[in-house]
Amino acid sequence: MIYQIYQRNLLAEIRRGKLPQHVGLILDGNRRYARAIGLVDILDGHRLGANKLEEVLTWCEELDIRMVSIWILSTENLMRPPEELGGLLRLIENKLRDTARDPKVHKKRMRIRVIGKLEILPPSMRSAIREAEEATRNYDGFYLNVALGYGGRQEIADAVQSLLRDRAAQGMSLERAMEEVTPDNLGKYLYTYDLPDPDLIIRTSGEVRLSGFLLWQSAYSEYYFCDAYWPAFRRIDLLRAIRSYQQRERRFGS
């Protein structure tokens, strides 16, 4: 009862303030949660994490937060032991296909977009990505950006290479092309070139670092680090993160 009253009061408090429009989520702690509750199969922790995501997206929608970016597989994750990685990739692939066919997704008009170095992912995963993106391409009710095979440093390196490649195709010399490598120009070559930067980034599991998530885009984002493992993330944790965001004065470098 006390918990419910506290949550209700917290919700009323944050509704009076300015809400973030774009929230980034680093879904950390699935494996540690599985071990903590005694699960034999570590992959079950990832399954619980996938179910938690559905809950959290619903909470965001209720708060009229219509854009969420999640990081579920880094380039470093691809170096995990084959027996674990194979199961994780199948889980993500199946989830993408299920999402593309989920009536709730279409009712909410949720657009799904996957960002990352997609060419390093297995062909079947790339096929599932295309299916999810094509099925939701014309939607504008909610935006879910999924970082797969993603690394912030790699994104910036890819952007530089793409910019220089384009300038070379235009016949520019290397010296002239290098002058074109400016923040404004480079931003047009990021995976998220047409998306607004995140206002708030939340990381679960008690780790106090970004690990390269949206490295360029998060220059002026507010960060919130939550001790709960991702599968144990609660609605009250989200509300506390938003309250913390509202209590800060955003200066954007000025």
What amino acid positions are annotated as catalytic residues? 28, 77
What distance in Å separates the CA atoms of residue 227 and residue 202, rounded to the nearest whole number?
11
Is residue 90 a contact partner of residue 125, using CB atoms and an 8 Å limit? no
Is residue 41 a contact partner of residue 84, using CB atoms and an 8 Å limit? no
Tokens of 59: 């909470």
Neighbours of 237 (CB within 10 A): 18
Characterize 19-29 residue by residue with b for buried, 16 or more Cβ atoms within 10 angstroms of its Cβ, and e for exposed.
bbebbbbbbbb
Is residue 180 a contact partner of residue 159, using CB atoms and an 8 Å limit? no
What distance in Å separates the CA atoms of residue 63 and residue 199, rounded to the nearest whole number?
15
Please give the span between the terminal C-alpha atoms of the chain, in angstroms, as a whole number.
44
Tokens of 36: 């903590």
What distance in Å separates the CA atoms of residue 239 and residue 244, rounded to the nearest whole number?
9
Pairing of strands 200-203, 222-225: parallel
Q: What is the DSSP string of 150-171?
A: E-HHHHHHHHHHHHHHHHHHTT
What distance in Å separates the CA atoms of residue 110 and residue 123, rounded to the nearest whole number?
24
